[in-house]
């Protein structure tokens, strides 16, 4: 079925291109020189539904671009099992017919990524991108930003380089202040065999002015390397594009005067510098007050009793916790993690708690400690491990947490308790983890992304009810952002591919990790289990895919 959809779409594109060229010979300049193409690393699950959605969104995109003076379009279908999000953009110096030709060419060429759920193709005249999740606010990603330099040089090169550098710098500053995020400009090149330099800058229209500015600044930094040697260059980022050349690729009457915009930016920068200095001093004073306050609290020696624990997180004295854990003795150790050890502690009021003692020697220990206090103290749910208090004493960083008698889930899946969980308990554990994640993502007053959901971070109480633990890597997600671009942290094997590869973080990353944990609960295997039967099934996820494919084939063979 997917081959038929592919063939039908390609025939439609070829026919469209042929008709446009036939009715408008000699005038078409769709600028279909391919600059960069990339495919997602994730395969489509149901290709028939996915391709049907993709083709429907393509038709919607083409309809939008058919309107005069429309150069940017988005479309999506997200109501079924294979959601599709599509974005296309043409350079604004192009005619409507050339824009459509460029889009048709891109839609046909991008079919080489047909097996994957995402792809991106950038041409001189336009770009096309589709994904299975929203990406409208993305501007840059590691590995996806390209600089392409030509091969012809100008003489003398220094004069050309200086003029082009100033032109591209001005465009990067002015474009974010223009409606539609597009600008084209020229500059004379005196004393060379090149009379004029032509340049454009453009951002996708769904980003903010600040995002456009930072994207073009990075593009400008990259494209400067071309001007050192050659007379044409291009910088291609996810959310923006820059190009310069000594040859006209747009008409002179399509430029705009960016000088007033540059002056406005310069004035704003002066105000911003003054405001930044004043704000920085105020922030420094505020930070100093917080440090003094925190230091004073850490020196208190009064232990906390049962009554005080009812009112939320408290600061404990180091001597009190040291006594409660029998001097952090091995006989009280509950477990060891990558960031520290956990001990069982009995407080003066006979309450049993867990004390997590962080290793201060590793980079980011204090940041992780503060992060966990900030996040966990703001949430309360029966499936999230509660924070009872903390302690800061010189280099000692300790968290006081709820005590979970049955320890971590992994112990019952492949550890000493292997085989003791019946299906009812496994089901309840899965349901409890899902409820905890739903609270973090949807029900809490702030959206929290855990970033390290795995079996060893799921703790079990007396009744084997699960609680999600270890929020050291967690972070907030702003409500107005569907995803965050950040450095990857977490545990390989449990982490979503788009987060590992591109740093694209959203609540879907936690959901992916939850899915891996579910597979572990059902199978009793670790996600990195080796030696599973079947070709290319070195790990649990590949094994499941292999088995599901074989089951599907068996079903259809017997059906026919």
Give the residue among 506, 514, 560, 548 at the shortest CA–CA distance from 46: 548
Give dist(CA 470, CA 486) in Å, integer. 20
Cα angle 112, 216, 121 (rounded to 5 degrees) comes to 5
The DSSP bridge partners found for residue 198 are 186, 245
The DSSP bridge partners found for residue 122 are 36, 127
Measured between alpha carbons, how far is residue 327 from residues 168, 319, 348 in Å? 64, 9, 15
HSE at residue 285, side-chain half, CA atoms within 13 A, is 6
**Cβ of 7: how many Cβ atoms within 10 Å?**
10
**Parallel, antiparallel, or unpaired: how do β-strands 196-203 and 182-188 relate?**
antiparallel
Token pair listed for 149: 């330099």
At a CB cut-off of 8 Å and minimum separation 6, what does 267 contact?
Answer: none
Q: Are 218 and 144 in contact (CB under 8 A)?
A: no
Active site residue 394: no
The DSSP bridge partners found for residue 476 are 448
Give the residue among 505, 453, 503, 447 at the shortest CA–CA distance from 480: 447
Q: Is 156 helix (H, G, I), strand (E, B) or coil?
A: coil
Task: Go through 74-105 and write b for each residue having 16 or more CB atoms within 10 A of its CB, e for each that does not.
Answer: bbbbeeeebbbbbbbbbbbbbeebbbbbbbbb
Catalytic residue, chosen from 452, 470, 507, 510, is 452
- Name the helix (H) or strand (E) containing 58: helix 47-65
Q: Are 459 and 410 in contact (CB under 8 A)?
A: no
Token pair listed for 451: 């970033």
With tokens 């001097």, the residue in question is: 327
With tokens 């702003």, the residue in question is: 478
List active site positions: 452
């Amino acid at each position: 079925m997917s081959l038929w959809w592919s063939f039908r779409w390609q025939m439609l594109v070829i026919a469209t291109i042929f008709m446009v060229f036939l009715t408008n010979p000699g005038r078409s300049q769709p600028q279909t020189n391919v600059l960069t193409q990339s495919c997602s690393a994730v395969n489509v699950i149901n290709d028939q539904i996915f391709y049907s959605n993709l083709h429907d969104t393509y038709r919607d995109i083409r309809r939008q671009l058919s309107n005069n003076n429309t150069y940017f379009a988005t479309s999506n279908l997200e109501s079924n099992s294979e959601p599709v999000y599509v974005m296309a953009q043409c350079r604004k110096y192009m005619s409507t017919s050339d824009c459509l030709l460029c889009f048709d060419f891109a839609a046909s060429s991008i079919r080489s990524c047909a097996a994957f759920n995402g792809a991106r193709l950038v041409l001189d005249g336009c770009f096309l991108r589709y994904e299975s999740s929203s990406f409208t606010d993305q501007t840059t990603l590691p590995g996806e930003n390209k600089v392409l330099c030509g091969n012809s040089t100008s003489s003398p090169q220094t004069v050309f380089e200086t003029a082009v550098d100033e032109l591209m710098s001005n465009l990067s500053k002015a474009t974010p202040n223009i409606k539609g995020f597009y600008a084209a400009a020229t500059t004379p090149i005196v004393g060379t065999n090149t009379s004029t330099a032509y340049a454009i800058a453009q951002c996708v229209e769904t980003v903010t002015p600040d995002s456009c500015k930072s994207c073009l600044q990075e593009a400008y930094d990259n494209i400067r390397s071309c001007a050192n040697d050659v007379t044409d260059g291009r910088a291609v980022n996810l959310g923006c594009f820059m190009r310069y050349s000594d040859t006209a690729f747009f008409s002179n009457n399509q430029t705009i005067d960016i000088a007033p915009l540059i002056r406005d930016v310069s004035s704003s920068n002066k105000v911003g510098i003054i405001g930044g200095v004043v704000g920085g001093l105020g922030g420094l004073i505020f930070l100093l007050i917080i440090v003094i306050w925190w230091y004073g609290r850490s020196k208190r020696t009064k232990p906390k009793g049962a009554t005080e624990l009812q009112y939320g997180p408290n600061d404990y004295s180091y001597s009190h916790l040291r006594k409660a854990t029998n001097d952090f003795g091995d006989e009280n150790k509950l477990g060891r993690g990558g960031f520290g050890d956990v001990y069982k502690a009995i407080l003066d009021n006979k309450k049993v708690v867990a004390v997590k003692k962080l290793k201060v020697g590793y980079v980011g220990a204090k940041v992780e400690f503060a992060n966990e206090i900030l996040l966990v103290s703001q949430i309360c749910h029966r499936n999230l491990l509660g924070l009872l208090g903390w302690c800061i004493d010189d280099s000692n960083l300790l968290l006081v947490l709820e005590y979970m008698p049955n320890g971590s889930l992994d112990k019952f899946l492949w550890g000493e308790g292997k085989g003791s969980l019946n299906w009812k308990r496994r089901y309840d554990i899965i349901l409890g983890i899902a409820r905890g994640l739903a609270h973090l993502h949807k029900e809490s007053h702030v959206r929290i992304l855990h970033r390290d959901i795995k079996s060893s971070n799921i703790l079990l109480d007396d009744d084997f009810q699960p609680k999600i633990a270890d929020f050291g890597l967690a972070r907030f997600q702003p409500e107005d952002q569907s995803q965050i671009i950040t450095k990857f942290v977490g545990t390989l094997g449990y982490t979503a591919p788009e987060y590992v590869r591109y740093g694209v973080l959203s609540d879907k990353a936690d959901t992916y990790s939850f899915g891996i944990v579910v597979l572990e609960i059902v199978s009793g295997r670790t996600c990195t289990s080796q030696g599973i039967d079947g070709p290319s099934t070195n790990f649990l996820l590949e094994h499941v895919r292999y088995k599901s494919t074989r089951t599907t084939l068996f079903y259809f063979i017997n059906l026919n």
